[in-house]
Structure 1
Amino acid sequence: MPNSSIKNEAQYEALRDKGYSKQKAARIANTPESGERGGKAKPYEEWTKSELYSQAKNVGLEGRSKMNKSELMEALRNN
């Protein structure tokens, strides 16, 4: 049964099949870039702290307001 709050249902289901939690799969499937092929984004080292913060907000990272640039990069990579 489709969930109207999930923007990319196919990606959500694929992530759930890989063992992701419902919450994490939904966060990823609901990001604006969900389902796009990778390789187009510049490395996090080239992002500004503001851009990193916005991305952290998009994926729902907690504690992001207290993180510096390197902590935001690490958290985004390990989320």
Structure 2
Amino acid sequence: MAPEKKDDPGPSIKDEEMYEAMRDDGMSKSKAAAISNAAANTSREEVGRRGGESKPYEEWTVEELHDRAAELDIEGRSDMDKDELIKALRT
């Protein structure tokens, strides 16, 4: 078994190149993992095309924002109000 690199995201990351690029841009580990794995499940083009189909976060309900934050494993989401959820989802 090969030794694990210090910054290796681990076997759960399916598109390591995309994950690393998003992390380099300052994205959180969980958000970068969710997006890169979604891209690996379909394609990068498909994930990019899906963007923009939903209404702006300001028009979402708090419940919808909480659900989305849960999908992305955003820590502390249960204690966040609508504005905080929106900020966390955009980070």
TM-score range, shorter chain: 0.5 to 0.7
**Residue number in structure 1 paired with 2:64:** 51
Q: What is the rounded CA distance, in whole Å, between the counterparts of 2:76 and 2:11 in structure 1?
A: 28
Unaligned runs of 5+ in 2: 1-9
List, as ranges, runs of 4+ consecutive aligned residues in structure 1 with deviation greater than 6 Å. Answer: none
Unaligned runs of 5+ in 1: none
Backbone CA RMSD of aligned residues: 3.0
Decide whether aligned partners of structure 1 residues 42 and 30 sit closer, same or farther in structure 2, where only a CA change above 3 A counts.
same
**Residue number in structure 2 paired with 1:5:** 12
Q: What is the rounded CA distance, in whole Å, between the counterparts of 2:36 and 2:86 in structure 1?
A: 20
Please say if 1:23 is aligned against 2:29.
yes
Q: Is the 8 A contact 2:18 2:36 kept in 1?
A: no
Q: Is the 8 A contact 2:65 2:85 kept in 1?
A: yes
Q: What is the rounded CA distance, in whole Å, between the counterparts of 1:22 and 1:41 in structure 2?
A: 22
Q: Is the 8 A contact 1:6 1:30 kept in 2?
A: yes
User: In the TM superposition, what is the alpha-carbon distance from 1:13 to its structure 2 partner?
Assistant: 1.8
From the two aligned structures, give the one with the greater helix fraction. Answer: 2
Q: How many residues align?
A: 73
Instruction: Give the AA of the match of 2:35.
Output: I
**Residue number in structure 1 paired with 2:3:** none
Q: Among the aligned pairs, what percent are the same residue?
A: 44
User: In the TM superposition, what is the alpha-carbon distance from 1:23 to its structure 2 partner?
Assistant: 2.9
TM-score, length of structure 1 as denominator length: 0.67
